Structure 1
Amino acid sequence: MHMKFLLPLFLLFSLAQAQTSDLTSSLYETYDKYKEATLDKRRIKHSQLQPLIDAYRKHPDFRVNKVGESIEGRELSLVSIGKGDISVFLWSQMHGDEPTATQAIFDILNFLKSDDFKNEKRAILENCTLHFLPMLNPDGAEVFQRRNRLGIDVNRDALRLQSPEGQTLKRVRDSLEADFGFNLHDQSTYYNAERTEKPATISYLAPAYNYEKDINEVRANAMKVIVFMNNIIQKYAPGQVGRYNDDFEPRAFGDNIQKWGTSAILIESGGYPGDVEKQEIRKLNYVSILSALYTIAQGSYKDIPLERYNEIPENDRKLFDLKIVNATFPLLGKNYQIDLGINRLEVNKEGYNDFWYSSRVWDIGDLSTYYGYETLDATGYVIRPGKVYPTPVNNMAGLEGLDTFALLRAGYTYVRMQNIPKEKLSSPVALHIVGKNYKIPDLAMEVGVNPTFLLEKNGKVGYAVINGFLINLSEGKTGNFKNAMIYR
């Protein structure tokens, strides 16, 4: 294409962005007014959604229909609003442990039922009909797991349609003949934007509909909307957007929905520093999806240059929760310099409403091409094992009465407890609790072990790593510490 044709396209693209810039800023600034306060944690359940959905059944602007049931009999509902010719279908949580966008959907519904932003909402609802299917996999959500009650990945059930959830998704898509489909997911917090230390807070994909990865008008429209959304996210999370590999997966719903004629837009919510419950990412979903609906209603996405899609960095997976570099590790009479990559794994509590951490050393060696949400240059520091505090405590009250920092500085990382409560799963202080007969294993730097050790420099302990959490002893700060372990 000649440059004389590129310039007008660029100007049209810039104009399309400028037209929604004020709206996007206003959406971001007023978000708390529409945030659904009852859904403030990731581990949400189907029962929490039903009172909200029932309220929309009674609202004159909304239409709510039961469209199916899960294997365990939980109702799948479609909430619709608008009267426009452009059909937009948004579904979330086909993986039960991916709830960020489910929360954002109810924020969007709150926005749509409000009396605010009248002109913008009129533009959307007169040109589009919006259909929301929140929590497609409620049985998985109940136990906070990816797969459904049958044990299958619903997102790989587009061909056989073995699951009632997959059957519902196909039936609804076909009945709506949706022009656009938003396939809303969560991804691992360990994804980063390629060759950067930035987490992939949001990742996108316009799935391929064949092995050749051809681009027809349907897929091109999805790509253009993604470019639009990327530009919005860059304002609030610069450099924190990734693009999924578009290899064709013939069993996947996104790929097939693209093939069936709906412009499919995959949105994956990843990680954001300090946002364990993904509430800032939820907000970004809310802002970017509403802005996307506006550009779809206006048709302004059509002028966006398609080549901008491939300028979005690819998704990579090279992030750790904690990265320690250049630490000295003594082994068999010699000193070795190593890097450590440490991840904190969530363990569900009974009822699947909360969690605790059981961390692991994820990798060891030269990690110069990897990144960390938190990184410590441990040059000059020697890895030392922690000791057991010689005076046992009787109970939890005795544990909490100890001076944790003083013990860590003195080299103690374990405390014996005579009576460990049966219901306790983890230690609330930065010291591991061990039973009266538990033998502490020798310190090993191996992939898979719990990362607990001290970092000593010139005979002084400067840092402690307890269950994968870095504690700065010089400053007396526990940082983002949540829990230590219990070894009975």
Structure 2
Amino acid sequence: MKIKFTLTLLLFLIFSLNHELFAQVAYSKIPIDRLESAYEKYKESAITDRRFKHADLQPLIQKHSDEFKIENLGESVEGKSVTSMSWGNGQTKVMLWSQMHGNESTATMSLFDLFNFLEGKNDGHDELRDLLKNQINLKFIPMINPDGADAFKRRNALDIDLNRDAISQISPEAVILKKARDDFEPEFGFNLHDQQIYYNVANTPKQATISLLAPAYNYETEINEVRGRAMQTIAGMNELLQELIPGQVGKYDDAFEPRAFGDNIQKWGTSTILIESGGYLGDPEKQYIRKINFMIILNALHQIATKGYEQYTTEQYFAIPDNGFQLMDLIINEMQVKVNEKWFPLDLAIRRRESENASGYFMSGLVEDVGDMQVFFGFETLDATGLQYTEGKVCPTAFESADKISGAEAMDLLRQGFLGVKVKNGEARAVHGLPILVLKTTEKYAGGWTTGSVPNFFLAKEGALKYAVINGYLIDLENPKKQEFRNRVY
């Protein structure tokens, strides 16, 4: 009896020691250099920018048909396929879906990098890959809204925001996503989006390059086991993000939206993690943010496979700063404007938004607000003390086309007081890269400093022109810097 008790105790101690050792291995984070090397090796070279179409992805999906189970889930409003890709044979099910909004494509790029990684072998990552394959079962839907993606717009072909169609399911794409979740019944879900570049970490000038959220499942924003797991996983993701982009991670507002997929999928029992890709200075095509997505998603999958998220707390989740919406492209401080023959100093806050047309995308500048702008932060800020708002003129000589005007000629015209030039040929709304207004349809240009105006004007000191503001771009007439313009012909 004593021998039996001693043997049982010994087996218990061995099991406990092995369990402790396993836990230590399971909870160890993947080193950043390993994540970076995996990304560099497996980055999908066929995708180089944010604007790609449904047809571009089809051969990239099919090339993974040997390792992934590929399934056509249905069709969009315009008849384009919505495809899922499945990998792994573990017990824990995880579903990831991207591009519910057609112009939010950053995470889609990173998913194709991840597909390449999961198919790799003999590269130093086999242990991680085998762990994922044996512990989790992955279902990816890389493009939920192909019609919106082809037009590079948020909504689908019915002009419906799919993220507000989880309950009524008017759209076929919403029906597809709901059925995929119900049939698969994932324990974890990743809802992958992009947010505007003007989101910041609240009350700081830092962009919220990545924002995270464990969506609420009711108006009371209560925390149950399902939502708590999502919060713990996000806390682990944030730990990695603070090494990659310190101070540039925000927490999205968790007010319950009863029509949204993220909120309802959380409600339906899937621990749901929202990733919103914002902006990063010098990364207009979001290629660095693509890399960050790859790293944090792979890291999160490792957490799920090992239950490593259990070492994190909901308190760590709530410690992530909130998102703000305080960033502007350009802030001009103390600009003098003349009203009723009196000069007044005021601040201008300007944003430039992307729009699409047949020639590509162009920027549309707008004065967002006027007055005291001290609560905002600018990607670019000008102290305009002593500078006066000055209107410009249109050059009386018409040019053949925008292609016939050089950047140097455009700068000379600006220095002469001409904000705009007329062209005889060329399509209205065609995109050009000149630092001047190109007018096809009128001899006048829209411009002003009041809220809602298109910001086209000069800043002068004692009558001498110092700066031009063209479509919200600031141009130093004495010391112009190299910058890319995406203006359109008016």
TM-score (norm 1): 0.90
The equivalent residue for 1:8 is none
CA distance in 2, matches of 1:51, 1:175: 26
The equivalent residue for 2:138 is 130
CA distance in 1, matches of 2:408, 2:221: 61
The equivalent residue for 2:200 is 192
Native 8 Å contact 1:472 1:478 kept in 2:
no
Native 8 Å contact 2:26 2:306 kept in 1:
no
CA distance in 2, matches of 1:119, 1:399: 58
* 2:346 matches 1:343: no
The equivalent residue for 2:433 is 428
Q: Which secondary structure does the structure 1 equivalent of 2:343 belong to?
A: strand
How far did residue 258 of structure 1 move? 0.9
Q: Which secondary structure does the structure 1 equivalent of 2:452 belong to?
A: coil
How far did residue 357 of structure 1 move? 1.5
Native 8 Å contact 1:342 1:363 kept in 2:
yes
How far did residue 373 of structure 1 move? 1.7
CA distance in 2, matches of 1:229, 1:110: 22
Q: Tell me the C-alpha RMSD between the 2 structures.
A: 2.3
How far did residue 463 of structure 1 move? 2.0
Q: Which secondary structure does the structure 2 equivalent of 1:372 belong to?
A: strand
* 2:46 matches 1:47: no
* 2:295 matches 1:290: no
The code of the aligned residue for 2:71 comes to: N
How far did residue 23 of structure 1 move? 3.0
CA distance in 2, matches of 1:93, 1:395: 38
The equivalent residue for 2:83 is 77
The equivalent residue for 2:465 is 461
How far did residue 192 of structure 1 move? 1.2
How far did residue 22 of structure 1 move? 4.7
CA distance in 2, matches of 1:260, 1:168: 16
Native 8 Å contact 1:92 1:136 kept in 2:
yes
Native 8 Å contact 1:245 1:315 kept in 2:
yes
CA distance in 1, matches of 2:323, 2:105: 20
How far did residue 474 of structure 1 move? 2.6
The correspondence of residues 43-442 of structure 1 with structure 2, limited to 5 A, is 43-57=51-65, 60-115=66-121, 116-350=124-358, 354-400=360-406, 403-417=409-423, 419-422=424-427, 425-435=430-440, 438-440=443-445
Judged with a 3 Å threshold, the aligned counterparts in structure 2 of structure 1 residues 20 and 189 are, in CA distance, closer, same or farther, namely farther
Native 8 Å contact 1:467 1:485 kept in 2:
no
* 2:458 matches 1:451: no
Native 8 Å contact 1:17 1:228 kept in 2:
no
CA distance in 2, matches of 1:149, 1:444: 35
The equivalent residue for 1:5 is none
The code of the aligned residue for 1:266 comes to: L
Q: Which secondary structure does the structure 2 equivalent of 1:393 belong to?
A: coil
Q: Which secondary structure does the structure 1 equivalent of 2:137 belong to?
A: strand
The code of the aligned residue for 2:370 comes to: I
Deviations 1:19-48 (A, max 9, x none): 655533322245232221222222221111
The equivalent residue for 1:34 is 42
Judged with a 3 Å threshold, the aligned counterparts in structure 2 of structure 1 residues 218 and 240 are, in CA distance, closer, same or farther, namely same
CA distance in 1, matches of 2:311, 2:95: 22
Q: Which is further off, 269-278 or 451-460?
A: 451-460
Native 8 Å contact 2:110 2:290 kept in 1:
yes
Native 8 Å contact 1:471 1:478 kept in 2:
no
The answer for unaligned runs of 5 or more in structure 1 is: 1-11
The code of the aligned residue for 2:412 comes to: A
Q: Which secondary structure does the structure 1 equivalent of 2:367 belong to?
A: strand
How far did residue 401 of structure 1 move? 7.4
The answer for unaligned runs of 5 or more in structure 2 is: 1-19
How far did residue 458 of structure 1 move? 4.4
Native 8 Å contact 1:415 1:431 kept in 2:
yes
The code of the aligned residue for 1:411 comes to: G
Native 8 Å contact 1:467 1:483 kept in 2:
no
CA distance in 2, matches of 1:31, 1:474: 43
The equivalent residue for 2:476 is 472
CA distance in 2, matches of 1:113, 1:421: 48
Native 8 Å contact 1:361 1:446 kept in 2:
yes
Judged with a 3 Å threshold, the aligned counterparts in structure 2 of structure 1 residues 123 and 397 are, in CA distance, closer, same or farther, namely closer
CA distance in 2, matches of 1:401, 1:183: 43
CA distance in 2, matches of 1:87, 1:151: 32
Which consecutive aligned stretches of 4+ in structure 1 deviate over 4 angstroms post-superposition? Answer: 15-22
The number of aligned residues is 467
Judged with a 3 Å threshold, the aligned counterparts in structure 2 of structure 1 residues 424 and 73 are, in CA distance, closer, same or farther, namely closer
Native 8 Å contact 1:192 1:240 kept in 2:
yes
Judged with a 3 Å threshold, the aligned counterparts in structure 2 of structure 1 residues 98 and 420 are, in CA distance, closer, same or farther, namely same
Deviations 1:262-320 (A, max 9, x none): 10001111111222221111111111111111111111110112201111111121111
TM-score (norm 2): 0.90
Q: Flag the structure with larger Rg.
A: 2
Q: Which is further off, 154-163 or 179-188?
A: 154-163
Q: Which is further off, 244-253 or 30-39?
A: 30-39
The equivalent residue for 1:3 is none
Q: Which secondary structure does the structure 2 equivalent of 1:403 belong to?
A: helix
* 2:489 matches 1:486: yes
How far did residue 485 of structure 1 move? 4.2
Judged with a 3 Å threshold, the aligned counterparts in structure 2 of structure 1 residues 433 and 18 are, in CA distance, closer, same or farther, namely farther
Judged with a 3 Å threshold, the aligned counterparts in structure 2 of structure 1 residues 16 and 69 are, in CA distance, closer, same or farther, namely farther
